């Protein structure tokens, strides 16, 4: 009887597979450290979004001289809340579009938001305030 010396040995060389796994591991570790989440964007009022999320009912503007304008009518802070209430009285869920110059302190923006919130509490409504921003192409857009 003739015996052959050709035996099949079931072996698998995994060295190239482990090299590939380590290279992928290093790649993902490096790319994950390069991604840093920025929770607070401080470069307002500039935006690349181009669509208004809600129908606007009233426009409030604050210029660089810190003057409030409601529907292009100059108003004092004390006059703004009753005037907004009169303008928003016909809707339950209206929107106030706020245009503020870059140099306006945040407190002036908060004053408008507080006035809308007081109107909401008094009349049990759900009016929102959206901030108008400028896109990099210098076209005026609205975003939230």
3-state secondary structure of 12: coil
What's the pLDDT at 36?
53
What's the pLDDT at 24?
92
pTM over 0.85: no
CATH of domain 58-143: 3.30.420.270
C-alpha gyration radius of the chain? 30
Q: Torsion angle, CA of 138/70/100/109, rounded to 10 degrees?
A: -150
Low pLDDT (below 70) residues in the chain:
1-2, 34-56, 134-144
Domain residue limits, the chain = 58-143
What's the pLDDT at 136?
61
What's the pLDDT at 143?
45
């Amino acid at each position: 009887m003739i015996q052959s010396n050709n035996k099949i040995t079931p072996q698998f060389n995994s060295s190239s597979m482990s090299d590939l796994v380590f290279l992928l591991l290093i790649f993902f570790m490096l790319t994950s450290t390069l991604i840093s989440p920025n929770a607070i964007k401080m470069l307002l009022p500039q935006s690349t979004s181009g669509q208004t999320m809600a129908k606007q009912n009233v426009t409030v503007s604050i210029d660089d001289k810190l003057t409030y304008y409601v529907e292009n009518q100059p108003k004092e802070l004390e006059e703004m809340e009753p005037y907004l209430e009169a303008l928003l009285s016909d809707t339950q869920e209206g929107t106030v579009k706020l245009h503020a110059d870059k140099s306006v302190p945040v407190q002036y923006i908060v004053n408008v938001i507080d006035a809308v919130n007081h109107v909401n509490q008094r009349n049990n409504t759900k009016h929102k305030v959206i901030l108008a921003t400028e896109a990099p192409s210098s076209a005026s857009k609205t975003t939230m």
